[in-house]
A = this chain, B = another copy of it.
Amino acid sequence: MAPAGPYTLGELALALGATLEGDPWRVIAGVAPLETAGSDQISFLTHPKYRATARASRAGALLVPEDAVGLQGPLLRSRFPQRALISLLQLFHPAPEVTPGVHPSALLSPAARVHPEASVGAFSVLEDGALIGRRARISPFVYIGQGVEVGEEAILYPHVIIREGVRIGRRVIIHAGTVVGGDGFGYAFDGAVHQKIPQVGGVIIEDDVEVGANVTIDRATLGHTVVRRGTKVDNLVQIAHNVEIGEDVIVVAQVGISGSTRVGNRAVLGGQVGLADHLAVGEGARVGPQSGVAHDLGAGQDYMGTPARPAAETRRIFAALRRLPELLKRVRFLERRVGELERRLGLTGSSGGRDDASA
């Protein structure tokens, strides 16, 4: 993205809806992290953890929450600092203008339709019946299979593969190398070999979804694999056939979701989480990184661990595990002491029927 600017602090305050403390005529040339920002750059503090770094920063101005204290120098105070940060980044790094049109090296089936305001990059292939919406952006090396629909303003990065019949919503972003609509992993063992079950369903990616790089989203056996509106999927995630992911879900990198599992709206799946097949994850459930989920999860709760349990329980188990080796010794010692007590009281027979201490 080609940088834009500079802007004065006064202009920035206006654009961000922020309150300025400082010289409105001061000129700001760019945005930079707290550690490296110079006197002509603006930086930001969105998390209190970094207050000390903010104090030491040489930035020419800081975007901070409305109630931030203990900071000097020009400040832009915002009631919605995250949103203001987004605006700030967009001001200095506007999305590139894309020239509409089809690159002469792209190969379009005569039966493919591309909106005149859409763009199709070099060496892209659009098969029969492909339909590219208004202002959609198809990068170089993209493969669009038969009958695929790509919604308005969608962005497909280089080397994205959309196989036949998939539907991609409006403003969807799909990063490089991702494969949508590959065959689901389904076989029937006939006693001798694994017979492939034809995967004849489709995939629906609804509006405003973003999918990371080198992700795989398989087509359904029958029906559709679905990723609903507003959901964000990180890199290298596996979404199996007939999975249904709700709205505004967060799926962090390298998660694997097995066949026919349903994930509720606004759920959060941490990195490397694995979900077994045919499960239901409740709305707003949050699953900690690397968890292994083999059972349905309730709505609105935090889960963690393999097997996944309520997060508080897993934290107690993790803490207790540290003491497990010592616990073994303590129990062995107790057994000796109790044996001695029993001997003293002539009760040795009471342990005669069990052999638990021998292991």
Contacts and interface: CB of A to CB of B under 8 A. Distances in A.
Interface of A: 1, 31-33, 36, 80, 82-83, 85-86, 89-90, 92-93, 105, 107, 121-123, 125, 139-141, 143, 157-159, 161, 163-164, 173, 175-177, 179, 182-183, 185, 187-188, 190, 193-198, 200, 208, 210, 212-216, 218, 222-223, 230, 232, 234-236, 238, 240, 248, 250, 252-254, 256, 258, 271-272, 274, 276, 289-290, 292, 294, 305-307, 309, 313, 316-331, 333-335, 337-338, 340-342, 344-345, 347, 350-351, 354, 356-357, 359
Given A33-B222, A350-B340, A177 B179 contact: yes
Contact of A223 (B32, B212, B271, B294): B32
- Which residue, A159, A250, A305, A313, has most C-beta atoms of chain B within 10 A? A159
The 7 closest A-B pairs by CB, nearest first: A82-B188, A216-B235, A93-B200, A89-B198, A179-B213, A182-B213, A316-B325
Contacts of A306: 290, 305-306
Contacts of A318: 307
B235 A185 contact: yes
A161 B185 contact: no
A222 B90 CA distance: 12
Contacts of A141: 123, 125, 141, 143, 159
B324 A185 contact: no
Contact of A240 (B179, B253, B335): B253
A123 to B, nearest CB: 5
A190 to B, nearest CB: 6
A195 B86 contact: yes
A210 B236 contact: no
A82 B258 contact: no
Contacts of A161: 157-159, 176-177, 213
Nearest to A345: B344
Contacts of A322: 309, 313, 317
